[in-house]
């Protein structure tokens, strides 16, 4: 032990010398002076002694005051300075991988080091750290995963949990685990960092932990709402028939559902008024109709373009930050702006994007100063709201939406949909314009819509299905799920927990006693909804992985089939061309994807998408997700390194159908034929309808007694968005729980019959891997 001690002592001394040398160098001094200008610096000594004296503290402060980059660094520096550098191990979590990467890069630069020396990062599938790394930035998911194998966090001295005000599921989850760990590790220090002022909530959770606020300074920002914007830009609201990606049908409808009727009327009146003012007098009754479904979406891109033009032509110098909902929108808007004579001129405008999946080299550009007389315009997702600070922003354009997972209680499927932000978020976005001088913020929605926003966003734990979370709790082996979750900051409803447990039992991830099965263990490693994860695993076991990879990726990204309002019919016809006689939206997706790959190879991918009403961005996203899934399947040993055999049965249509069923079950509806009409019924909802764009909505009859579906939406009636026809034998053999327990016994009895009167090739597939399958469902 003393040998080890000696080595660490020596290393600590070396670390101190290196640190001093850097701080005394001209560059180091310059960097230090910049850091001293941050508001957090004046609190440094107080913070350090508070951390030394308290096991838990909560720190709040304006975005940009230097929490993320400075506080963990203060601890690191003081440990190094006191000759204990090699003994400390600091972890700082971030909700998003990109901020973990950006911040670690920045902190390394502030220390005059390369990334991966004293400071490193680790995110899923990627990382940069070495044996001398003592400050690690990682995603909250990574720390949770680490706790799986190392429940004491041995060797770790400080944990910072950042951006807790966002109330992400992983952060809330971490807090429960860490709270318990603190009782066992009295020497561990926990520091919580938050941007807004709801710090008391967290302090109370830790029994009245010390809270410290870092006072900051921002300049005033003037807010412009839609009504003002229409006036100043002279933009005419004539374009709601131009439906772009921003205005997808479902979105409008769900948004309409969310707004109370009175608000809807107010908005309608307001926009009508704005329409008249903007001298669009002769609007038709059709335009009137679309007013009723008004959201900022339907006027999205063109309005943003108009606002950007206004800023570039009329306003003072300063960068512009545009808040969008996701990468799809950002890239569409970028393409549109690139074609604009002013905004697309690289001598006048530096157009940059900022989103979760961008490359590190791209990231650096967003912090750089543009050349003189060039205006920097940054299209960003809401990650620019709090986790990344760009200093020279003077103008903010806020679309009022963010993508968040919403809990669709109807079908337990998490869906990533853009929805209205909260007042707190809107204020936060506005604040980004006042960092260096007074700023302007353009909110692309009327003031009355802002008034209808919730004060704060609901914590993720309360708005997403708990299926994945419960699976993770199980794999952490920390008590029963119910007990565990009742310790949360704001515990979810017992019913939501019970639903999740029942669901996990039904798909075979948990056994009757709530023990994790082998399937459950694999599912906890896959970053998708357990239901889709199961489909993937079944695809691998049954050796028809390729089409299943596409289906699962498509269902977890979104539908690549576009449905423009004014060309619904053409789009529907285009989609049904991919369906042949499959009676399946999922197989249509597989064909469309494969066609796109072929077209890409010949260099005509874009044309192909255009002709077939497909979104190239979505197909691209599906493509990269497929790769990711393959990687994880190989990594977890579910797939051989040479994956050729995993596709030996991909050509077997009814098998692929069966695997789709095994994942989507119990999302099942019966097909009832009566005389010339067809109707559909699910177990929970009774009568349902098929979504207009489903290929199955185009047939007069469907030669299958059942449809399995991935998603249903409620718009007065319940609609099935996507479906695949399945036979009795498929349902019997591959329908969820039928595979387990007593049903398995029945199947044994039926064994002979199945071979005899059911689909023989399917039964053969089924029995060929039965053993492998049984193992999956065991503990």
Binding site for ligand ADP (CB under 6 A): 38, 61, 63-70, 102, 106, 367, 389, 391
In the list Mg ion, ligand ADP, none, the entry touching 64 (Cβ below 5 to 8 angstroms by class) is ligand ADP
**CB closer to Mg ion, 332 vs 384:** 384
Interatomic CA distance for residues 237 and 291, integer angstroms = 10
Hunting for tokens 């005899």 — which residue is that? 756
Q: Shortest gap between Cβ of 103 and Mg ion (angstroms)?
A: 7
**Which part of the chain contacts Mg ion (CB under 5 A), choosing from 68-76, 151-159, 598-606, 634-642?**
68-76
Note the residue count of the chain.
779
Q: Which is nearer to ligand ADP, 174 or 538 (CB)?
A: 174
| Cα 23 to Cα 718: distance, rounded to the nearest angstrom | 65
Q: In the complex with ligand ADP, which residue's Cβ is closer, 389 or 405?
A: 389
DSSP 8-class letter at 369? P
When binding is defined by CB under 5 A, the residue of 12, 19, 60, 68 that contacts Mg ion is: 68
Rank residues 44 and 67 by Cβ distance to Mg ion and give the closer one.
67
- Return the residue matching tokens 């994945």: 468
Q: Which does 524 bind (CB under 5 to 8 A by kind): Mg ion, ligand ADP, none?
A: none
Residue 489 neighbours by CB under 8 Å, 6+ apart: 167, 172, 175, 176, 201, 202, 205, 459, 461
Residue 140 contact, options ligand ADP, Mg ion, none, Cβ 5-8 Å cut-off depending on partner type: none
Closest contact distance (angstroms) between CB of 366 and Mg ion is 15
Residues 729-768 that bind Mg ion (CB under 5 A): none
Helix (H/G/I), strand (E/B), else coil: 439: strand
**DSSP assignments along 38-73, one per residue:** SGGGGGHHHHHHHHHH-SEEEEEE-TTSSHHHHHHH
> Which one of ligand ADP, Mg ion, none interacts with residue 631, CB within 5 to 8 A by kind?
none
Contacts of 627 (CB under 8 A, 6+ apart): none
Which partner from the list ligand ADP, Mg ion, none does 73 bind, CB cut-off 5 to 8 Å by kind? none
Q: 615, 328 in Cβ contact below 8 A?
A: yes
Closer to ligand ADP by CB, 290 or 363: give it: 363
Stretch that binds Mg ion, among 67-75, 77-85, 404-412, 538-546 (CB under 5 A): 67-75
Distance, CA of 267 to CA of 250 (rounded, Å): 19
User: CB-wise, 198 or 647, nearer to ligand ADP?
Assistant: 198
Calculate the alpha carbon distances from 49 to 73, 74, 87, 189, 300 in Å: 15, 11, 18, 12, 50
Cβ–Cβ < 8 Å for 48, 42:
no
Piece of 61-69, 462-470, 473-481, 725-733 that binds Mg ion (CB under 5 A): 61-69
Answer with the entry of ligand ADP, Mg ion, none that 720 interacts with (C-beta below 5 to 8 A by kind).
none
Question: Considering only CA atoms, which of 209, 205, 147 is closest in space to residue 172?
Answer: 205
Q: Provide, rounded to whole angstroms, the least separation between the CB of residue 372 and ligand ADP.
A: 19
Give the nearer residue to Mg ion in terms of CB position, either 99 or 650: 99
391 contact choice in ligand ADP, Mg ion, none (CB below 5 to 8 Å, kind-dependent): ligand ADP
CA distance 533 to 663: 8
> Which one of ligand ADP, Mg ion, none interacts with residue 69, CB within 5 to 8 A by kind?
ligand ADP
Residue 483: how many CB atoms within 10 A of its CB? 11
Q: How far is the CB of 659 from ligand ADP (least distance, A)?
A: 45
DSSP-assigned states of every residue in 750-765: HHHHHHHHS-HHHHHH
Minimum CB distance to ligand ADP, residue 214 (Å)? 8
Distance CA 255, CA 296 (A): 10
Using the structure block, give the residue that is written with the tokens 């890409």.
600
Cα distance between residue 206 and residue 159, in whole Å = 15
Nearest distance in Å: CB 374, ligand ADP? 19
For helices 616-635 and 585-601, angle between their N-to-C axes, nearest 10 degrees? 100
| Segment contacting Mg ion by CB under 5 A, of 64-72, 365-373, 582-590, 620-628 | 64-72
Closest separation in Å from C-beta 28 to ligand ADP? 16
The least CB distance from residue 390 to Mg ion, in Å, is 13
Query: In DSSP terms, which residues pair with 319 in a beta bridge?
Result: 393
Determine how β-strand 210-214 pairs with β-strand 706-709: unpaired
Nearer Cβ to ligand ADP (63/413): 63
Kindly state the smallest distance separating residue 40's Cβ from Mg ion, in Å. Answer: 10
Tokens 């399958």 correspond to what residue? 773
Looking at the Cβ atoms of 67 and 657, the one nearer to Mg ion is: 67
Cα–Cα distances (Å) from 478 to 169, 310, 378, 482, in that order, read 17, 56, 44, 11
Q: SS3 for 679?
A: strand
Cβ closest to ligand ADP, residue 103 vs residue 510: 103
Min. distance of Cβ 179 from Mg ion in angstroms?
A: 22
412 binds Mg ion (CB under 5 A): no
The item of Mg ion, ligand ADP, none sharing an interface with residue 533, based on CB under 5 to 8 Å by kind, is none
Work out how close the CB of 68 gets to Mg ion at its nearest, in angstroms, rounded to a whole number. 3
Q: Are 363 and 98 in contact (CB under 8 A)?
A: yes
The enclosing H or E element of 172 equals: helix 169-184
Specify the residue, 38 or 177, whose C-beta has the smaller distance to ligand ADP: 38
Q: Which residue, judged by CB position, is nearest to Mg ion in the bound state?
A: 68
Instruction: Fill in the per-residue mask, 10 to 49: x = in contact with Mg ion (CB under 5 A), - = not in contact.
Output: ----------------------------------------
Q: Report yes or no: 327 and 618 within 8 Å, Cβ to Cβ.
A: no
Nearest approach in angstroms of CB 38 to Mg ion is: 12
Give phi and psi for 393, each to the nearest 5.
-70, 130
CB hemisphere CA count around 382 (13 angstroms): 21
The separation between CA 440 and the C-alpha centre of its own chain, rounded to angstroms, equals 29
Q: Taking CB within 5 to 8 Å according to partner kind, which of Mg ion, ligand ADP, none is near residue 255?
A: none
| Residue with smaller CB distance to Mg ion, 195 or 352 | 195
Closest approach, Cβ 98 to ligand ADP, in A, equals: 12
- For the beta carbon of residue 90, count every other beta carbon within 10 angstroms: 23
Count CB neighbours of 335 within 10 A: 12
For tokens 């720190």, what's the residue? 59
136 binds, among ligand ADP, Mg ion, none (CB under 5 to 8 A by kind): none
**Contact partner at residue 389 from ligand ADP, Mg ion, none, CB < 5 to 8 Å by partner kind:** ligand ADP
Q: Which is nearer to ligand ADP, 105 or 398 (CB)?
A: 105
Instruction: Write down the residue that tokens 């003592």 correspond to.
Output: 134
CB of 438 to ligand ADP, least distance (A): 17
- Looking at the Cβ atoms of 60 and 630, the one nearer to ligand ADP is 60
* Residue 35 CB, nearest approach to ligand ADP (Å): 8
299 binds, among Mg ion, ligand ADP, none (CB under 5 to 8 A by kind): none
Residue closer to ligand ADP by CB (options 64, 296) is 64
Give the pair of three-digit tokens for residue 403: 């993508």
Residues that bind Mg ion (CB under 5 A): 67-68
């Amino acid at each position: 032990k003393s040998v080890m001690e000696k080595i660490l002592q020596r290393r600590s001394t070396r670390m101190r010398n290196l640190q001093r040398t850097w701080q005394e160098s001209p560059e180091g001094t310059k960097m230090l002076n910049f850091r001293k200008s941050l508001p957090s610096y004046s609190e440094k000594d107080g913070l350090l002694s508070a951390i030394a004296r308290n096991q838990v503290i909560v720190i709040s402060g304006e975005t940009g005051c230097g929490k993320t980059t400075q506080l963990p660094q203060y601890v690191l520096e003081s440990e190094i300075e006191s000759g204990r550098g090699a003994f400390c191990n600091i972890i700082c979590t971030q909700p998003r991988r990109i901020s973990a990467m950006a911040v670690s890069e920045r902190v390394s630069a502030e220390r005059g080091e390369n990334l991966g020396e004293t400071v490193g990062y680790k995110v899923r599938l990627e990382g940069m750290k070495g044996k001398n790394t003592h400050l690690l930035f990682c995603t909250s998911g990574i720390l949770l995963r680490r706790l799986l194998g190392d429940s004491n966090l041995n060797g770790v001295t400080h944990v910072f949990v950042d951006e807790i005000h966002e109330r992400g599921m992983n952060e809330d989850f971490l807090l429960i685990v860490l709270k318990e760990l603190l009782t066992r590790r009295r020497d561990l220090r926990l520091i919580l960092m938050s941007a807004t002022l709801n710090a008391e909530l967290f302090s109370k959770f830790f029994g009245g932990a010390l809270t410290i606020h870092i006072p900051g300074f921002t300049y005033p920002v003037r807010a412009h709402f839609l009504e003002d914007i229409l006036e100043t830009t002279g933009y005419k609201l004539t374009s709601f028939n131009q439906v772009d990606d921003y205005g997808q049908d479902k979105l409008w409808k769900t948004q309409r559902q969310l707004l109370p009727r009175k608000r809807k009327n107010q908005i309608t009146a307001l926009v009508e008024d704005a329409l008249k003012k903007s001298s669009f007098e002769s609007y038709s009754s059709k335009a009137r109709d679309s007013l009723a479904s008004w959201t900022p979406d339907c006027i999205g891109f063109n309005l943003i373009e108009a606002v950007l033009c206004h800023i570039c032509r009329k306003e003072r110098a300063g960068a512009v930050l545009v808040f969008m909902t996701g990468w799809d929108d950002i890239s569409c808007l970028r393409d549109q702006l690139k074609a604009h004579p002013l905004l697309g001129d690289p001598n006048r405008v530096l157009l940059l994007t900022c989103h979760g999946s961008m490359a590190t080299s791209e990231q650096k550009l967003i912090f750089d100063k543009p050349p003189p007389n060039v205006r920097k315009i940054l299209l960003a997702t809401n990650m620019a709201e709090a986790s990344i600070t760009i200093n020279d922003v003077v103008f903010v354009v806020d679309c009022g939406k963010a993508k968040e997972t919403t809990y669709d209680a109807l079908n337990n499927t998490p869906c990533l949909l853009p929805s209205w932000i909260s007042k707190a978020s809107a204020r936060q976005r506005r604040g980004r314009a006042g960092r260096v001088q007074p700023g302007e913020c353009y909110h692309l929605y009327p003031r009355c819509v802002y008034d209808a926003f919730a004060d704060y966003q609901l914590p993720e734990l309360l708005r997403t299905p708990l299926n994945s979370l419960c699976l993770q709790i199980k794999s952490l082996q920390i008590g029963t799920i119910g007990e565990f979750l009742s310790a949360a900051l704001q515990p979810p409803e017992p019913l939501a927990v019970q639903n999740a447990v029942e669901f996990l039992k039904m798909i075979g991830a948990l056994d009757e006693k709530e023990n994790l099965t082998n399937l459950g263990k694999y599912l906890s490693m896959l970053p998708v909804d357990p239901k889709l994860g199961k489909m993937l695993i079944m695809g691998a076991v049954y050796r028809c992985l390729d089409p299943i990879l596409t289906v699962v990726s498509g269902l977890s990204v979104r539908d690549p089939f576009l449905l423009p309002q004014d060309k619904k019919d053409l789009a529907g016809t285009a989609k049904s061309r991919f369906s042949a006689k499959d009676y399946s939206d999922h197989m249509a997706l597989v064909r469309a994807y494969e066609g796109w790959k072929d077209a890409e190879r010949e260099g005509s991918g874009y044309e192909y998408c255009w002709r077939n009403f497909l979104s190239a961005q979505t197909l691209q996203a599906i493509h990269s997700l497929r790769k990711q899934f393959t990687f994880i399947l190989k990594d977890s040993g579910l797939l051989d390194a040479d994956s050729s055999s995993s596709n030996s049965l991909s050509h077997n249509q009814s098998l692929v159908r069966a695997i789709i069923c095994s994942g989507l079950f119990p999302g099942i509806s019966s097909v009832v034929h009566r005389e010339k009409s067809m109707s559909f019924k699910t177990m929970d909802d009774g009568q349902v309808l098929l979504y207009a764009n489903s290929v199955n909505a185009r047939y007069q009859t469907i030669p299958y007694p059942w449809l399995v579906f991935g998603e249903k939406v409620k718009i007065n009636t319940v609609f099935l968005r996507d479906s695949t026809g399945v036979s009795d034998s498929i349902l019997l053999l591959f329908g969820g729980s039928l595979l387990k327990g007593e049903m398995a016994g029945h199947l044994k009895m039926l064994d002979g019959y199945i071979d005899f009167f059911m689909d023989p090739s399917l039964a053969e597939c089924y029995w060929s891997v039965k053993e492998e399958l049984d193992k999956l469902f065991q503990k």
